[in-house]
Amino acid sequence: MQGWRLAQGASFLYGLLPMGIVDGRGRCINYARISVTDRCNYRCVYCMPEEGVKSRAHADIMRYEDILWLSRILVSLGIRHIRFTGGEPLVRRGMADFLVSFREEFPGLDISMTTNASLLPSFAGTIERARLSGMNISLDTLDSDKFAHMTRLGDISDVMSGIASAAERGIPNIKTNTVVMRGFNEHDLPDIVKFSWSHGLIPRMIEFMPMRGNLWGRETFVPSAEIFDLLKPMGDWELEGNAEKKTACGPAKYYRNAHNGLKVGVIEAISNHFCSECNRLRITAAGNMRACLFNNAETPLLPAIRDMDEAAAREAILTGIALKPRKWNDAADGVSHMSDIGG
Ligand code: SAM
Ligand code: SF4
């Protein structure tokens, strides 16, 4: 144990341990999701309003050198996995090259990215050199009309080309992410699962989460039990050995198909939320830290980053972690758009 300290303004102790930061509720925080942009070339119905969101000026978002500097501090505090997300990370100019230099800086770190894959055909060659640990690709349907409807601006053929180029470049551990919405794509799940399996990808079904003004409601929400029912016709499923106890690697429960041994993940973000084991923190493109997706409390890191004040940055990160709530609050309609926080 490296030491204990009392967070300013917080009423409990937390510690810095070799495996990460342990907060006052015993959760080991070792995973950071960094949004590199709040912009996106899509407007998915579950994520962004049709008109888009007001993008921040370039001066107000973290520069690549800011992200590098901040990441050194995060890693020194015990963060072991950094995922880049957005908005769409690949709409930011220089992102693929940045991933390569980020890997050079952190040769042993788990580095991954979440993307809609539409721009991967242009960047997969460069990204290959970043030796990512994994990539998550959003895929909500295989039907081109539904895809256009759900993403508002998307063309499924771009995503198919993106998936093919990622696979050709040997990017490992690719997962597809499907946000399940009643009336949109709930009957497409078996086809998505078969498609993902046939391309060597791991499909994951995500419960639709309420964000500001995003159509979430009784009519559109599909609980995990029903998601699982929709997959039942594909054969018998077994819950993976340690899946009941969700791991530090993520909140998904994995089920293995008894016939072919292939698996599918289900992320029960709402019906069985994983707050007691949440190991993550999020940093928005503007450099604000959020310890909980569903809680608006943000700790600004940008001033410390721009001053390159290490002590202030550490203090801000630890103070922000101390604000991580025990459980998500239900006032979710007030929280930001997913694209703003970095899903
Ligand atoms: N643009 C990239 C993409 O679409 O993969 C990365 C950013 S996106 C905000 C990250 C993830 O959040 C995606 O897998 C997306 O499906 C998920 N997401 C966005 N809004 C969501 C919501 N309301 N409920 C559940 N997942 C959501
Ligand atoms: Fe863009 Fe990803 Fe949000 Fe869709 S889910 S609007 S692709 S940030």
pLDDT at 10 over 70: no
Which of the listed residues 179, 268, 280 should we mutate to test ligand 1's pocket, taking the one with most ligand atoms within 8 A of CB? 179
Q: Which pLDDT does position 136 carry in this prediction?
A: 98
Q: Which ligand is nearest to the CA of 120?
A: 1
Mean pLDDT, residues 152-176 taken together: 97
pLDDT band at 141 (very low <50, low <70, confident <90, very high): very high
Mean pLDDT, residues 133-162 taken together: 98
Q: Which pLDDT does position 331 carry in this prediction?
A: 42
Q: Which pLDDT does position 204 carry in this prediction?
A: 97
pLDDT band at 294 (very low <50, low <70, confident <90, very high): confident
Q: Which pLDDT does position 18 carry in this prediction?
A: 60
Q: Which pLDDT does position 333 carry in this prediction?
A: 45
Mean pLDDT, residues 303-316 taken together: 96
Q: Can you read off the two tokens belonging to residue 315?
A: 């203090």
Helices (H), strands (E): how many in the chain?
Answer: 10, 16
Which of the listed residues 44, 90, 182, 282 should we mutate to test ligand 1's pocket, taking the one with most ligand atoms within 8 A of CB? 44
State the closest ligand 1 atom to the C-alpha of 208, by its place in the atom list counted from 1.
24
In short, whether 88's Cβ falls inside 6 Å of ligand 1 is yes
pLDDT at 230 over 80: yes
Give the residue from 270, 308, 314, 309 showing the smallest Cα distance to 289: 314
Q: Report the SS3 class of residue 222.
A: coil
Q: Which pLDDT does position 249 carry in this prediction?
A: 42
Tokens 């698996």 sit at which residue?
Answer: 263
| Ligand 2 proximal residues by C-beta, below 6 Å | 40, 42-44, 47-48, 86-88, 116, 138, 338-339
Whole-model pTM: value is 0.91
Which of the listed residues 153, 270, 338 should we mutate to test ligand 1's pocket, taking the one with most ligand atoms within 8 A of CB? 338
- Percentage of the chain beyond pLDDT 90 is 68
Mean pLDDT, residues 69-85 taken together: 96
pLDDT at 180 over 70: yes
Q: Which pLDDT does position 223 carry in this prediction?
A: 95
Residue spans per domain, the chain: 4-341
Class of domain 4-341: alpha beta
Give alpha helix (H) positions in the chain: 64-76, 95-105, 120-128, 144-151, 156-168, 189-198, 224-231, 302-307, 310-322, 338-341
In short, whether 116's Cβ falls inside 6 Å of ligand 1 is yes
pLDDT in tens, 84-105: 999 999 999 999 999 999 999 9
Compute the distance from residue 41 Cα to the ligand 2 centre, in Å: 8
pLDDT at 11 over 60: no
